[in-house]
């Protein structure tokens, strides 16, 4: 039989295209321009690294000169005089002294030859737009905050202040403000700012990582708690059954195993309660992190959808894994009632109440319990979705997004109908399976 007849027309075309692509790859001439691109790019990269290294060395020399003990002392005098203004000091002389120190690092451009800023092209004036020199390249630039042609960059420089025995004790910090133009600032700090931006995590990522860590801890602790819960359920079931048998066969107290009728030990109950408390704390922290994510302010519809999806996933996770925690208080309550029944058997109560307590433990049907659990879980999920849609409607009304309210209101109505339907199923189930 022909191969094309077996594969079909569509699949045959795909096979032919694939074979043709392989043939073209083998036959056609390929020229790789990667090496040329790398060589051209490497020139720009080397030039950028050289410029960055040159400006970095200039900044280091500048800070060393300005943090010289004599220069630092003069700057302290200048700061004190500017703060107090009670003693006449020649501030112009101090400023000129610092300018002379700064000009030893790089030659300043003659400000008389520069009528306008080289970046924003604004004309300099004596008052509104004054001239400033970049301390790293020496260009004349303006200090307009709107254009950002130059700015004073705050630096904390480690200096040897003396008076200490060790190098750590001798080191101190001096705050300096160095005016740097926009071009030098970009060359010197752009890569550093980019690395800081990459290392910085947004709030939603931090909350999501916290939520994932709690989820891992919950999944790790759940098997141990389920094992303890299964042990308590078995011991409680056997205890209630043997209590019922003891009452029905009071003439022969030796019939039945006394060891199997023992209730759970205090150590078992304490360990189960502690594990349950740790799980509840982890679930609380997990829910808090999820709510923090969904409540983060954002203007992006995609980000809003992402936050809502994470929150809906957390709700489903909680509904799925929190159900075993609800069974422990019921088991402990049955254990206490079983203890109370044993006390009544010794002359403190009537046999009818003991039989009722025992029958409440014995009459459990796994299939019935599974069906009831499924209905209640479905109801809890629908109630949570109904609550979320209600919050979304309130948020849309507050933000005046009226085009979304209609669709959300329709979804809310459908959820309410589903809730009523499931509640009716639960009521019918309880009527068909009464607890006696």
pLDDT at 433: 64
User: Is 265 within the bounds of a domain?
Assistant: yes
- Between the two ends of the chain, the Cα-to-Cα distance in Å is 71
CA distance 261 to 231: 14
Do 216 and 193 share a domain, yes or no? Answer: no
pLDDT at 176: 84
Residue 428 corresponds to which tokens in the numbers above?
A: 């019918």
pLDDT at 59: 92
pLDDT at 362: 36
Is 301:353 a contact under the CB 8 Å cutoff? no
Do 152 and 221 share a domain, yes or no? Answer: no
User: Is 11 within the bounds of a domain?
Assistant: no
User: Is 12 within the bounds of a domain?
Assistant: no
Do 207 and 194 share a domain, yes or no? Answer: no
User: Is 33 within the bounds of a domain?
Assistant: no
pTM: 0.45
Sign (positive or negative) of CA dihedral 262, 266, 267, 269: positive
Residue 336 corresponds to which tokens in the numbers above?
A: 């206490």
CA distance 245 to 349: 17
In 3D space, the residue among 336, 324, 325 whose CA is nearest the CA of residue 236 turns out to be 336
Q: How many domains does the chain have?
A: 2
CA distance 40 to 425: 73
Do 227 and 185 share a domain, yes or no? Answer: no
**Which structural domain range is residue 370 located in?**
203-432
Q: How far, rounded to the nearest angstrom, does the alpha carbon of residue 73 sit from its chain's CA centroid? A: 48
Do 187 and 212 share a domain, yes or no? Answer: no
The last residue of a domain, from among 143, 164, 199: 199
pLDDT at 351: 32
Burial class (CB in 10 A: 0-12, 13-18, 19+), 23: exposed
> pLDDT digit string (tens) for 296-322?
888 888 888 888 889 888 888 887 877
Do 179 and 238 share a domain, yes or no? Answer: no
Is 315:381 a contact under the CB 8 Å cutoff? yes
Do 117 and 219 share a domain, yes or no? Answer: no
Longest dimension (CA), the chain: 120
The last residue of a domain, from among 157, 174, 199: 199
Do 276 and 424 share a domain, yes or no? Answer: yes
User: Is 5 within the bounds of a domain?
Assistant: no
> pLDDT digit string (tens) for 49-71?
999 999 999 999 998 888 876 65
Do 149 and 64 share a domain, yes or no? Answer: yes
pLDDT at 21: 66
User: Is 7 within the bounds of a domain?
Assistant: no
In 3D space, the residue among 89, 62, 92 whose CA is nearest the CA of residue 77 turns out to be 89
pLDDT at 253: 46
pLDDT at 136: 92
Residue 414 corresponds to which tokens in the numbers above?
A: 């459908």
Do 187 and 240 share a domain, yes or no? Answer: no
Burial class (CB in 10 A: 0-12, 13-18, 19+), 285: middle
Distances (CA, A) of 238 to 252, 284, 354: 19, 34, 15
**Which 3-state string (H, E, C) describes 81-146?**
HHHHCCCCCCHHHHHHHHHHHHHCCCCCCCHHHCCECCCCCCECCCCCCCEEECCCCCCEEECCCC
In 3D space, the residue among 195, 159, 5 whose CA is nearest the CA of residue 68 turns out to be 159
Do 252 and 343 share a domain, yes or no? Answer: yes
Can you give the pLDDT of all 436 residues of the chain as single tens digits? 444 444 454 566 667 777 766 666 555 677 888 889 998 899 888 998 999 999 999 999 998 888 876 655 655 555 555 544 444 445 455 567 788 888 888 999 998 899 999 999 999 988 888 999 999 999 999 999 899 999 998 888 877 655 555 544 455 677 888 999 999 999 998 888 888 888 888 888 888 888 889 888 888 888 887 777 777 665 555 555 444 444 444 444 444 444 444 556 777 777 777 877 888 888 888 888 888 888 888 888 888 888 888 988 888 888 787 766 665 555 555 555 554 444 444 433 333 333 244 333 333 445 555 666 677 777 777 777 787 788 778 777 777 777 777 777 888 888 888 888 888 887 887 777 654 3
User: Is 367 within the bounds of a domain?
Assistant: yes
The last residue of a domain, from among 166, 182, 199: 199
Do 195 and 71 share a domain, yes or no? Answer: yes
User: Is 13 within the bounds of a domain?
Assistant: no
């Amino acid at each position: 039989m022909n191969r094309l007849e077996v594969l079909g027309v569509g699949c045959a075309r795909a096979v032919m295209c694939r074979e043709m692509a392989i043939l073209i790859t083998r036959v056609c001439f390929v020229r790789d321009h990667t090496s040329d691109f790398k060589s051209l790019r490497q020139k720009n990269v080397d030039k950028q690294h050289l410029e960055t290294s040159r400006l970095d060395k200039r900044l280091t020399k500048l800070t060393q000169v300005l943090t010289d003990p004599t220069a630092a002392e003069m700057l302290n005098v200048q700061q004190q005089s500017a703060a107090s203004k009670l003693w006449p000091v020649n501030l112009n002389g101090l400023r000129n002294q610092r300018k002379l120190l700064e000009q030893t690092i790089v030659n300043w451009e003659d400000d008389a030859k520069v009528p306008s800023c080289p970046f924003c092209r604004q004309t300099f004036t004596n008052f509104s737009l004054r001239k400033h020199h970049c301390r790293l390249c020496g260009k004349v630039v303006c200090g307009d905050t709107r254009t950002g042609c130059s700015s004073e960059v705050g630096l904390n420089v480690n200096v040897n202040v003396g008076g200490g025995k060790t190098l750590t004790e001798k080191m101190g910090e001096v705050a300096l403000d160095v005016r740097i133009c926009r071009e030098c600032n970009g060359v010197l700090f752009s890569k550093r700012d980019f690395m800081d931006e990459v290392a910085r995590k947004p709030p939603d990522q931090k909350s999501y990582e916290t939520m994932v860590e709690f989820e891992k801890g919950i999944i790790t602790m759940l098997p141990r708690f389920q094992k303890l819960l299964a042990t308590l359920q078995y011991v409680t079931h056997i205890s209630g059954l043997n209590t019922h048998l003891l009452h029905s066969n009071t003439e022969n107290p030796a019939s039945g195993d006394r060891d199997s009728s023992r209730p759970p030990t205090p150590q078992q109950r304490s360990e189960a309660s502690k594990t349950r408390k740790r799980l509840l704390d982890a679930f609380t922290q997990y829910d808090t992190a999820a709510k923090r994510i969904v409540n983060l302010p954002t203007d992006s519809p995609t980000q809003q959808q992402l936050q809502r999806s994470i929150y809906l996933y957390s709700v489903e996770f909680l509904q799925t894994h929190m159900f075993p925690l609800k069974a422990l208080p019921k088991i402990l309550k049955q254990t206490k009632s079983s203890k109370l029944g044993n006390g009544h058997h010794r002359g403190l109560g009537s046999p009818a109440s003991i039989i009722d307590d025992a029958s409440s433990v014995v009459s459990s049907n796994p299939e019935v319990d599974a069906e009831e659990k499924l209905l209640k879980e479905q109801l809890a999920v629908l109630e949570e979705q109904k609550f979320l849609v209600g919050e979304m409607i309130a948020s849309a009304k507050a933000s005046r997004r009226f085009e979304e309210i209609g669709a959300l209101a329709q979804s809310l109505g459908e959820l309410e109908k589903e809730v009523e339907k499931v509640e009716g199923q639960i009521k019918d189930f309880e009527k068909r399976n009464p607890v006696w």
